[in-house]
Amino acid sequence: MKTPSNSNFYQLSPDAILHCVEKNGFIPTGEIMQLNSYENRVFNIKLEPSDHYPGITELIAKFYRPARWSKETLFDEHAFEAEIKQEGLAVATAFTLKNGTTVDEFDGIYFTFFEKIRGRLLQELMPVHFKHMGRWLGQLHNIAERTPALHRPTLGPSNDNKWDVLNQLYNHVSPEVRAEYFEAAEIIFSRLDELLNDTKLIRIHGDLHRGNILESPTEGFVVVDFDDFVNGPSIQDVWMLMPDTDFQDSDEFQEFVAGYEELRHFPFHELPLIPLLRGYRIINYAAWILNRWTDPSFPKIFPEFNTYKYWAEETESLNRIARSLSL
């Protein structure tokens, strides 16, 4: 594989994208629309009718950020999506390309083509929606626990890079709040490692917020974007769907649990992980922005990053979580 250039990734041209489409047997009309994605470059491509791909009039092209994933980790993701679809759940799956796999490469950049699933983002969620989502996630986790993802990261004690991430942030946190930030972060990470020692880890979506769920008139709920798919605690796929931080007494949560328990036992014993996982996400998100700062779009998207205001607010969020652990 050619060593990828970040500048090539930032400046993918329409001609380059269409070349990748054509070389894999699709016939593009020339219409390309870039979709919202901070991490990857994602495009909606319209197609001419083709005997090779009958009935396919659009596809989603995803060009992966260089140096983040290996081919093996991408194959793990695509195999999981195919397994989910085979079990009857609605999910976008990757096409098999001319090279016989789901991943091709252009100028050192891996790319994949996914089927286009029509749907809309959920604007307003009623309790009945949460019951349906609970049932969907229960079935997903039944599939997920069959086997681990061999090449994906594991969100578990000493199995991820959380402490390295924390060290990486040290020189960037504002000096005024640095001691507080790291004291709270170390409390959260130490407790998280302790609890994860006794937690069953399965394949999880990893980033299951509402922006990654579509409602399709024909498919029902459709979950998209498995880019953060890892091995981890099943409760990680629950808390991000809930309407607020204090959700356990809400009607939405009760309906979600009722749907989930139609298919498997709900992991109530994992609920204490939620504030810790929230803290883990806050810290990881800061490191993610830091590691993408040379991407020309990131300073525009996150103008307050690396300011005192940003780190003071992050520190207060971590402090609230750390204080709650002693209550």
Tens digit of each residue's pLDDT (9 = 90 or more) over 238-273: 998 886 777 888 888 999 999 999 999 999 999 999
pLDDT at 160: 64
Average pLDDT in the chain: 91
pLDDT of residue 159: 58
Q: Give yes or no for residue 179 having a pLDDT over 60.
A: yes
The DSSP symbol for 202 reads E
> Percent of the chain having pLDDT more than 70?
95
Worst-scoring range by mean pLDDT, 154-158, 200-204, 281-285?
154-158
CA distance 98 to 104: 9
Q: What is the mean pLDDT of residues 3-18?
A: 81
Q: Which residues contact 133 (CB under 8 A, 6 or more apart)?
A: 213, 221, 241, 256, 259
**How far apart, in whole angstroms, are the C-alpha atoms of residue 12 and residue 206?**
28
- CB-CB contact of 268 with 146 (8 Å): no
In the structure, what pLDDT confidence band is assigned to residue 58 with cuts at 50, 70 and 90? very high
CB atoms within 10 A of CB 98: 11
Q: Which residue has the higher pLDDT, 119 or 136?
A: 136
Mean pLDDT of 60-81: 96
Domains and CATH numbers, the chain: 6-116 (3.30.200.20), 127-324 (1.10.510.10)
- Please return the burial class of 88, using the count of CB atoms within 10 Å of its CB with bins 0-12, 13-18 and 19+: exposed
Q: Is the pLDDT of residue 4 over 60?
A: no
Instruction: Identify the burial level of 130 via C-beta atoms within 10 angstroms of its C-beta, where 0-12 means exposed, 13-18 middle and 19 or more buried.
Output: buried
